Amino acid sequence: EPEVTQTPSHQVTQMGQEVILRCVPISNHLYFYWYRQILGQKVEFLVSFYNNEISEKSEIFDDQFSVERPDGSNFTLKIRSTKLEDSAMYFCASSEIPPYQPQHFGDGTRLSIL
Amino acid sequence: AQKVTQAQTEISVVEKEDVTLDCVYETRDTTYYLFWYKQPPSGELVFLIRRNSFDEQNEISGRYSWNFQKSTSSFNFTITASQVVDSAVYFCALSEGMDSSYKLIFGSGTRLLVRP
């Protein structure tokens, strides 16, 4: 069964550094999402992406964050200057036709900021 | 405003017991969708079920069953004859029909521990 793939599984970065989290959504899916989960807390929406543009972003998704779909397959989340509070698990999700089809999640990237 | 509440933060049961996980939602939309996801200790999020607001039929899938009641804004999840492998955090989530991004709004999750 096709799945969403995220790399790396764990990223350790010094505070202030830029980090790029990568995702390969399921190939025929059209809607893409990033969520984050701070340890022990609920999953929070960051941004949605459709038709090569952001369709919605949350308050968390400030100017330090950006997303790109640079080729036909990858979907990336960039954090320009990381802060300690960016430490979390970041999940990529994709869906063919939400909400009729569910969002399928990748295994997540654990981001640790030192 | 939209909101999902999972009042049970943690439940512990002995294997073979039945367990019900509660989910209460708030939305102003008349069209909305409800989901349950499972997060095992390995951390991934696994889709379990989707329900739309026009379909109040309860559903059973093996040992899992879901009870959707619009009158009480609840979408509860029951595991029958629980097994150790059911130990996980379970999230209820809401997606609103008027939301063009169809983002998921998650509850805070219920951690289920099934003891042998």
pLDDT at B57: 80
Structure tokens at B63: 């040992």
- Alpha-carbon span A52 to A77, nearest angstrom: 14
Tell me the shortest Cα–Cα distance from A83 to chain B, in angstroms: 23
pLDDT at A73: 86
Is the Cβ–Cβ distance between A42 and B109 less than 8 Å? yes
Least confident of A8-22, A66-80, B48-62: B48-62
Of the pLDDT bands very low, low, confident and very high (cuts 50, 70, 90), residue B80 is: very high
Q: What is the pLDDT of residues B9-22, one digit of tens each?
A: 999 999 999 999 99
Of the pLDDT bands very low, low, confident and very high (cuts 50, 70, 90), residue A2 is: confident
Question: Residue A86 phi/psi, 5° resolution?
Answer: -80, -10
**What are the residues whose beta carbons fall under 8 Å from the beta carbon of B20, sequence distance 6 or more?**
B76, B77, B78, B79
Of the pLDDT bands very low, low, confident and very high (cuts 50, 70, 90), residue A98 is: confident
What residue in A sits closest to B35 (Cα-Cα)? A102
- Determine, for residues A108 and B44 on separate chains, whether the beta-carbon distance falls below 8 Å: yes
Residue A81 has pLDDT above 90, yes or no: yes
- Determine, for residues A103 and B47 on separate chains, whether the beta-carbon distance falls below 8 Å: yes
Tell me the shortest Cα–Cα distance from A80 to chain B, in angstroms: 24
Structure tokens at B106: 């998650």
Q: What is the pLDDT of residues B93-104, one digit of tens each?
A: 999 877 778 999
- Alpha-carbon span A83 to A63, nearest angstrom: 13
How many beta-carbon pairs below 8 A join chains A and B?
62
pLDDT at B55: 84
What residue in B sits closest to A89 (Cα-Cα)? B43
Is the Cβ–Cβ distance between B39 and B91 less than 8 Å? yes
Residue A17 has pLDDT above 80, yes or no: yes
What residue in B sits closest to A98 (Cα-Cα)? B102
Tell me the shortest Cα–Cα distance from A101 to chain B, in angstroms: 8
Q: What is the pLDDT of residues A19-68, one digit of tens each?
A: 999 999 999 899 999 999 999 899 999 999 998 999 999 999 999 999 99
Residues 6-45 of A with CB under 8 A from B: 31, 33, 35, 41-45
Question: Average pLDDT, whole number, for chain B?
Answer: 93
Averaged over A1-19, what is the pLDDT? 94
Averaged over B64-80, what is the pLDDT? 94
Tell me the shortest Cα–Cα distance from A32 to chain B, in angstroms: 9
Burial A78-110 (b: 16+ CB within 10 A, else e): ebeebeeebbbbbbbbbbeebbebbbbbbbbbb
Residue B72 has pLDDT above 90, yes or no: yes
Please give the share of chain A, as a percent, with pLDDT higher than 90.
Answer: 85
Chain A residues with CB under 8 Å of B46 CB are: 105
Question: Average pLDDT, whole number, for chain A?
Answer: 94
